[in-house]
Structure 1
């Protein structure tokens, strides 16, 4: 199993915990953890060469 798949499994587990959370703070905490695991999975896919890097566009500056 790829490392990124393990990270995505962790994200899914966090989402399940968020659904069963007893209150809003716990729900938000588990949701943020799921987002972090998903970001790690995407980064691992990039490190493994499976997805291209994201191109960040910067605003053009004008000369006065």
Structure 2
């Protein structure tokens, strides 16, 4: 495995690069993934579904 910043070889279980000190990025926790999924679903509802329903209701009233 190589450091993304300085390309020095580092151990797979290293927390930081021994050469430049840059820490390895952590993978997303399951809690973060759930939050991201929830935020995406809410954004889709706000951006797509609500205007579509409002448009249908407006078309029915005219």
Query: Shorter-normalised TM-score: what interval?
Result: 0.3 to 0.5
TM-score normalized by the length of structure 1: 0.39
Pick 1 or 2: higher relative contact order, CA cutoff 8 A, min separation 6.
1
TM-score by length of 2: 0.40
Structure with more helix by fraction: 1
Could you say which structure has the larger radius of gyration? Answer: 2
